[in-house]
Chain A
Amino acid sequence: MTKVLIIAEHDGSALNPSTAKCVSCAAAIDGAEIDIAVLAADTTGIAAEAAELEAVSRVLTIERAENEKPITAKLAPQIAAIAGDYSHIMGPSTTFGKDLMPHVAALLGVNQVSDIMTVENSHTFKRPVYAGNAIVTVEAPAGSTVVATVRVASWQAANGGNSATIAPLDAAAELPMHTRYVSLESAASDRPDLQTAAKVVAGGRALGSEEQFGLIYQLADALGAGVGASRAAVDAGYCPNELQVGQTGKIIAPDLYIAIGISGAIQHVTGIKDAGTIVAINKDEEAPIFEVADIGMVGDLFQILPELIDAVN
């Protein structure tokens, strides 16, 4: 019997779309019964959102003041305490899930399957390695709990329209005090979220300065797109770290990805391989980004961008 427990990701009030993608992954396992666990200080709104997701049987809420912030040292023992008769425990391969799920796996004494791209059967999955330059089929041992993270860029969000049962749960676990949340510094923005945006405009080192990186925001706003960046642009201080796309940043799959002044190192390309259409604008016609671009344009971005922004507006 396949029983999957998905750990909901949220910001304290709203469900992160990564959770709906985990549901799609879990639903790809034949006969899976799917529950979602919401650990928060106030679970009301988050649980209501989770209950709408198609194929979910139950939403289990664990409300504790200690769950206000996502501190793994506090969340993991509660998850281990309710792991009970679940065959699978899944979370998203976002920084939230990557931080949490291996800790849960170790508490349960098992290894973790990281970044599930496809489900072959209940214990067999495909996942990327070597920055996506190889795909390996892996088999988790039978008879022990499968703990896994789901590569969110590989899955569509589950549909809504469901009304799963919401039930409070008591996760008796002693929580350590040795890890304390201090603060979160976030560049607030009204733009679509990079990880779920249908369109993304991304800039690289060639933008040359933080000020000139503003062109990327202008084009993004004209298109209603999210904003991304290469590692080089983040390292150079043109934009905040949360915009980084690639092996060590965010792995995304928008319908449209426009790479501007990005050369296309393999570590970057691995983050955009699943995009619908890739557009590359670069002055170097030999740039590797053109090898993966559906539409390429060679030229000076400082001439092209203002023209493109005008045309889109």
Chain B
Amino acid sequence: MDKIIVGLKRVVDYNVRVQVKSDGSGVETDGVKMSINPFDEIALEEALRIKESGAATEVVAVSIGTSESQQQLRTGLAMGADRAILVTVDGDIDPLSIARVFKALAEKESAGLVMLGKQAIDGDNSQVAQMLAALWGRPQATFASGVTIEGDSARVVREVDAGLETVEVDLPAVLSVDLRLNEPRYVKLPDIMKAKKKPLDEMPLADLGIEPGPVIKELQYAAPEGRQRGVTVDDVASLVAALKDKGLV
């Protein structure tokens, strides 16, 4: 296989406790730390390992967003991606349109694999990989926690509710990756310097001939109903008594 395309989404860092804006239009992102979606970082790490094993020749990092997503692509290049493509959009873009972007790029680049995080930790949708597989007419293996390339196919271990499922998919294919697939590498300073010289191409969405269709509108954001801190008990007898009171034991 020649190329692996990896999607990198810019999201609010996973350590940030997000706050809903007072007008309900979204969550506060001003002055908030932004990072690569952690699942996407795992996808990139796996792509790099596949390339290092000799099973692929090039890793292309792709992001779709405003020019600010350059930051995340530069981090991806510093991790080891060979080049990056930023498809620019003005605001938010819906998952189906994102899947169409990846399909267009996968075909243009003749990618052997498209690797994505199993979900983005902002929208928590978990849709793009599955949609891409449908539009592209290629296999999907979602929630991957083990990937082995075997010539023209891949053996993928998937984390499913019942346990660990193994499937075999012909390449090209779409993978979405889960947490336990790998531990992403740390970026070293010389890599950051080197990454500055790697190619990062920008293209507007319209250049791919994609016009977003009807989207699911976000009407209103609200904070979730909170839980209240309850009582503290000092010994097991009180704990059991409290549970008995509630009819739970």
Contact = CB atoms under 8 A, between A and B. Distances in A.
Nearest to B233: A297
Contact of A295 (B163, B215, B233): B233
B163 to A, nearest CB: 4
Contacts of A130: 12, 18, 27, 121-122, 124
Contact of B216 (A72, A138, A267): A138
Interface in A150-209: 176, 178-187, 195, 199
B27 A134 contact: yes
20 contacts: A72-B140, A99-B130, A103-B131, A103-B133, A105-B96, A112-B216, A115-B124, A138-B216, A180-B167, A182-B167, A182-B168, A235-B179, A248-B118, A256-B243, A278-B227, A295-B243, A296-B231, A298-B232, A311-B236, A312-B240
A134 B134 contact: no
A294 B230 contact: yes
A291 interface: yes
A102 B214 contact: no
A11 B239 CA distance: 38
A28 interface: no
Interface of A: 11, 71-73, 76, 94-96, 98-107, 109-115, 124, 128-141, 144, 176, 178-187, 195, 199, 223, 231, 234-235, 240-242, 247-248, 250, 255-256, 266-267, 273, 277-279, 290-298, 304, 307-308, 311-312
A137 B215 contact: no
A129 B216 CA distance: 14
Given A95-B159, A247-B121, A248-B118, A311 B95 contact: no
B118 A312 contact: no
B169 A290 contact: no
Given A103-B131, A112-B127, A140 B216 contact: yes
B189 interface: no
Interface in B82-138: 94-96, 99, 118-119, 121-128, 130-135, 137-138
Contact of A106 (B20, B131, B138, B161): B131
Given A297-B232, A304-B236, A111 B219 contact: no
Contacts of A291: 227, 229
B224 A135 contact: yes
B219 A296 contact: no
Contacts of B231: 294-296
Contacts of B234: 297
B17 interface: yes
A242 B162 contact: yes
Interface core residue of A71, A176, A180 (most chain B CB under 10 Å):
A180
B216 A182 contact: no
A311 B127 CA distance: 46
A73 B131 CA distance: 11
B155 A182 contact: yes
A242 B162 CA distance: 6
Interface string B138-169: 11111101000000000100111111111111
Given A134-B224, A179-B141, A311-B237, 10 more contacts: A102-B131, A114-B124, A130-B12, A136-B218, A136-B221, A178-B170, A267-B14, A292-B229, A295-B232, A312-B240
Judged by DSSP, the binding face of B is: mixed
Given A102-B95, A103-B130, A296-B230, A242 B163 contact: yes
Contact of B213 (A109, A113, A129, A186): A109
Interface core residue of A96, A99, A185 (most chain B CB under 10 Å):
A99
Given A103-B131, A134-B222, A242-B161, A248 B178 contact: yes
Contacts of B17: 133, 266
Contacts of A102: 95, 125-128, 130-131, 134
B188 to A, nearest CB: 24
Given A124-B219, A134-B20, A298-B232, A99 B143 contact: yes
A103 B229 contact: no
A97 to B, nearest CB: 10
Interface in B39-74: none
10 closest cross-chain pairs (CB), A and B: A186-B163, A294-B230, A106-B134, A106-B131, A141-B214, A102-B130, A102-B127, A182-B166, A178-B170, A179-B139
B12 to A, nearest CB: 7
A185 B159 CA distance: 10
Contacts of B20: 134
Contacts of A110: 96, 214
A108 B131 CA distance: 10
A73 B243 contact: no
